[in-house]
Amino acid sequence: MSLLGAPPRVVAVGAPMFADALTAQAVAVSQVDWRPPLGGEGTPGEVARVLADPRHQAANATAVGRMLAAGAELVDVRPAREALGLDSGSFLHAGPPIEWERASGPLRGALIGAVLLEGMAATPDEAEKALTAGGLHWEPCHHHGAVGPMAGVVSPSMWMFELRDPVHGGTAWCSLNEGLGKVLRYGAYGPEVVERLRWMSTVLGPLLRTAVGASGAVDVKAIATQMLQMGDEGHNRNRAGTLMFLRELLPSLIDSGAPTSEVAEAVRFIAGNDHFFLNLGMPACKLAGDAARDVPGSSLVVAMARNGTDFGIQVSGTGDAWFTGPANTPEGLYLGSFGPADANPDIGDSAITETCGIGGFAMAAAPAIVRFVGGEVADAIEATQLMYEITLAENPTYQVPVLGFRGTPTGIDAVLVTRTGILPHINTGMAGRVAGTGQVGAGLVNPPESIFPEAVAALAELAPLLG
Q: What is the nearest approach in angstroms of a copy of itself to the Cβ of residue 233?
A: 12
Task: Evaluate whether 459 touches 416 at the Cβ level (below 8 Å).
Answer: no
For the CA atoms of 238, 241, 245, 250, the dihedral, rounded to the nearest 10 degrees, stands at 90
From CA 374, how far away is CA 356, in angstroms rounded?
A: 23
From CA 178, how far away is CA 123, in angstroms rounded?
A: 21
DSSP letter (8 states) at residue 344: P
Q: What distance lies between CA 141 and its chain's CA centroid?
A: 12
Q: What is the nearest approach in angstroms of a copy of itself to the Cβ of residue 271?
A: 4
Q: Which is closer to a copy of itself, CB of 86 or CB of 244?
A: 244
From CA 428, how far away is CA 341, in angstroms rounded?
A: 17
From CA 280, how far away is CA 175, in angstroms rounded?
A: 9
Q: Which is closer to a copy of itself, CB of 273 or CB of 298?
A: 273
* Phi and psi torsions of 300, nearest 5°: -70, 130
Q: What is the nearest approach in angstroms of a copy of itself to the Cβ of residue 78?
A: 24
Q: Which is closer to a copy of itself, CB of 185 or CB of 196?
A: 196
Q: What is the nearest approach in angstroms of a copy of itself to the Cβ of residue 367?
A: 4
Q: Which is closer to a copy of itself, CB of 254 or CB of 416?
A: 254
Q: What is the nearest approach in angstroms of a copy of itself to the Cβ of residue 55?
A: 39
Q: What distance lies between CA 371 and its chain's CA centroid?
A: 20
Q: Which is closer to a copy of itself, CB of 338 or CB of 388?
A: 388
Q: Which is closer to a copy of itself, CB of 258 or CB of 462?
A: 258
Q: What is the nearest approach in angstroms of a copy of itself to the Cβ of residue 191?
A: 25
Q: What is the nearest approach in angstroms of a copy of itself to the Cβ of residue 209?
A: 18
Q: How many CB atoms lie within 10 A of CB 31?
A: 17
324 φψ region: left (φ > 0), alpha (ψ -120 to 50), beta (else): beta
Q: Which is closer to a copy of itself, CB of 386 or CB of 402?
A: 402
Q: Which is closer to a copy of itself, CB of 222 or CB of 434?
A: 222
Residue 35 CB contacts under 8 Å (≥ 6 apart), including other chains: 14, 420, 421, 422
Closest CA to 455 of 41, 38, 93, 97: 38
Q: What is the nearest approach in angstroms of a copy of itself to the Cβ of residue 388?
A: 17
What are the beta bridge partners of residue 323?
313
At residue 35, what is the residue type?
Answer: R
Closest CA to 159 of 215, 95, 211: 211
Residues forming the site for a copy of itself (CB under 8 A): 229-232, 239-240, 243-244, 246-247, 250-251, 254-255, 260-261, 263-264, 267-268, 271, 367-368, 376-378, 381, 401-405
